[in-house]
Structure 1
Amino acid sequence: MDSINLEIPSLPDNVRIVESFIDNSKDKYHLNDDVYGNIMIAVTEAVNNAIQHGNNGDKDKLVKLTMSHSDEQIRFTIGDEGPGFDYDSLPDPTAPENLHKPCGRGIFLMKHLCDEVEFNNDGKEVVLAFYLN
């Protein structure tokens, strides 16, 4: 399994670096448009969460991204240096009282766009897997 690592300071503008990283992966691994689109949304959402919620926008804290690729799947591991969170007790973003809230949909989106989503290290790390066949 190929593996590439990237570390970025927790600044919102650095999401652009992640977007280029994903663009390069599309060409390198010949990802189809559907998989590429799902990866772009889910991974940038996870990185945004790591920057804003995990590291509280602290530019001295890093977000670590690892991409692993095999013939069957491509996996992204996104980690932050924050305190973690309880990913099992998040409010349902589709509940009527939450529909108009500006945040709370990121993990919901990840779960719908990825083939597998796994939280590790008390929520400080998320693994997003996309099947290629």
Structure 2
Amino acid sequence: MQQPLKLKIPSLTDNIRIVESFIDHAREYYKFNDDVYGNIMIAVTESVNNAIVHGNKSDKEKNVHLSVELNEENLSFVVEDEGLGFDYENLPDPTAPENLEKPGGRGIFLIKNLADEVKFSDAGNKVSLVFYLNS
């Protein structure tokens, strides 16, 4: 069984490039294919960006923790920030007519459409993204 890969970065949006390199390393380590790679890259970087900007309020003294683990036929990424969390149960629908012109609010919708499973922790400052490798 392979060990989980872990990364801790300060909350600076410039560190997204480190996350992209981490995902590339995970791709080599776990040998997952191109079909799932694009979805992982977009969903995980969006999750980390949300953790930096919304969770940790871009406070570089706070960190974002990222890990990835292979479980049977699934890759599981966990993104955790040091913020207070949010109410993930009551998010506005970005596809509703009244929200179409709003500049934000699509990130979690996008993540939920790219990952096979998305689970938030009780407070909302931790999210697990599961990607099926043989779907």
TM range (shorter): over 0.9
**SS in structure 2 of the partner of residue 85 of structure 1:** coil
Q: Matches of 2:28 and 2:6 in 1, distance apart?
A: 17
Matches within 5 A, 1:1-133: 1=1, 2-133=3-134
Equivalent AA in structure 1 for residue 29 of structure 2? K
The percent identity for this pair of structures is 63
CA displacement at 1:108 relative to structure 2: 0.5
CA displacement at 1:71 relative to structure 2: 3.6
Structure 2: state its 5+ residue gaps: none
Equivalent AA in structure 2 for residue 129 of structure 1? V
TM-score of the superposed pair, with normalisation by structure 1: 0.96
Structure 1: state its 5+ residue gaps: none
Root mean square deviation, CA, Å: 1.0
Q: Give the aligned length.
A: 133
Instruction: After superposing the two structures, state which structure 1 stretch, 62-71 or 88-97, moved more.
Output: 62-71
Q: Matches of 2:122 and 2:90 in 1, distance apart?
A: 16
Q: Matches of 2:133 and 2:23 in 1, distance apart?
A: 15
Task: List 4+ stretches of structure 1 deviating above 2 A.
Answer: 27-30
Q: Matches of 1:10 and 1:121 in 2, distance apart?
A: 22
Deviations 1:2-53 (A, max 9, x none): 3011100000000000000111122222222120000000000000000000
TM-score of the superposed pair, with normalisation by structure 2: 0.94
- Higher-helix-fraction structure: 1
CA displacement at 1:84 relative to structure 2: 0.5
